[in-house]
Chains A and B, each alone.
Chain A
Amino acid sequence: MNLKERWAAGKERNAAAVAANADKLMADTAYDRIRTRPARIALVAGFAACLVLIAVAYLTLGQLAGLVMVILTAVVWGLLRVSVRTIADLPDDYLDERQLAVRNASYVESYRYLGTAVALALTVGLIAFVVYGSELDTWDVTLTWEGVMATFWVFLGLSLGLPSMVLALNDRV
């Protein structure tokens, strides 16, 4: 089997796995306990808290604590995705027209939230620059490994998790 055939076979296996997982999640009732309104609110709050705690753990406790928080956040994210039947992440082919409409609306809303957060952060930065610009020569910004890891994981988690968070709060899946 040459590389091209292996690639095609792998792609086929992956598509079959996604299809099997999608079918399983769409028909799933085993996890209905985490699909109630209070459970979804708790998962969204828990995921948001985990993102904050990743930064806190990396910046105050060190790498190991940060890594533990990343793993815990991944578990909460997994539960959040199951609670909304992974609608935010499935390919279009596995969603019906209502689910597609709800998914698309959640991405629009997520983009607005993320855009607002980025715009606010940049505006605060700009204001700080204007106010303290004359003192910039005295600033000493040190980029640490923990600081980079905290920033990376928090923004990765936010960008991956926001659509599922919005879906969970809108309660239409």
Chain B
Amino acid sequence: MLRPMGRRPKADEPVFSRIELLRADRGLSRQELADAVGVHYQTVGYLERGEYSPSLSLALRLAEVLEAPVEQLFSLTPFPDTQEPS
């Protein structure tokens, strides 16, 4: 699909995330995950709710800590086993 130049997709193209699921699987609290990837614990909450799309480097750090490929953490389409972001 072609997009007009100079316009970034925003709310109309949410990023779906499975961070909460994988974090729970690994037995990590939000604070522990935040410390491991070097962000504030609130930012983990925003990522889990799909309200913030991380930079590539943060996405890779999250993937490393959660021991999962990036495409298992984030998707532009809903994951079959997760709810839609609020």
Could you tell me which A residues sit within 8 Å of B by CB distance? 26, 96-99, 172-173
Convert B30-62 into 0s and 1s, putting 1 for each residue whose CB lies closer than 8 angstroms to a CB of A: 000000001110110010000010110010000
B39-A97 in contact (CB<8A): yes
Interface size on B, residues (CB 8 A): 10
A99 nearest CB neighbor, chain B only: B40
Complex contacts, A97 vs chain B, CB 8 Å: 39, 43, 54-55, 58
Question: For the complex, what is the distance from the CA of A26 to the CA of B38, rounded to whole Å?
Answer: 13
Question: For the complex, what is the distance from the CA of A98 to the CA of B58, rounded to whole Å?
Answer: 10
Question: For the complex, what is the distance from the CA of A97 to the CA of B34, rounded to whole Å?
Answer: 12
B58 nearest CB neighbor, chain A only: A97
A26-B55 in contact (CB<8A): no
B31 nearest CB neighbor, chain A only: A27
Q: Is the interface of B mostly helix, strand, loop or mixed?
A: loop
Question: For the complex, what is the distance from the CA of A97 to the CA of B38, rounded to whole Å?
Answer: 10
Complex contacts, A172 vs chain B, CB 8 Å: 46
Complex contacts, B39 vs chain A, CB 8 Å: 96-98
Give the distance to chain B from A87, nearest Cβ to Cβ, in Å: 9
Of the candidates A97, A99, A172, A173, the one having the most CB atoms from chain B within 10 angstroms of its own CB is A97
Question: For the complex, what is the distance from the CA of A173 to the CA of B52, rounded to whole Å?
Answer: 12
B58-A26 in contact (CB<8A): no
Complex contacts, B38 vs chain A, CB 8 Å: 96
B40-A26 in contact (CB<8A): yes
Of the candidates B40, B42, B46, B55, the one having the most CB atoms from chain A within 10 angstroms of its own CB is B40
* 17 other A-B residue contacts (CB within 8 Å) besides A98-B52, A98-B54, A173-B42: A26-B40, A96-B38, A96-B39, A96-B40, A96-B43, A97-B39, A97-B43, A97-B54, A97-B55, A97-B58, A98-B39, A98-B40, A98-B43, A98-B46, A99-B40, A99-B43, A172-B46
Give the distance to chain A from B59, nearest Cβ to Cβ, in Å: 11
Question: For the complex, what is the distance from the CA of A169 to the CA of B74, rounded to whole Å?
Answer: 29
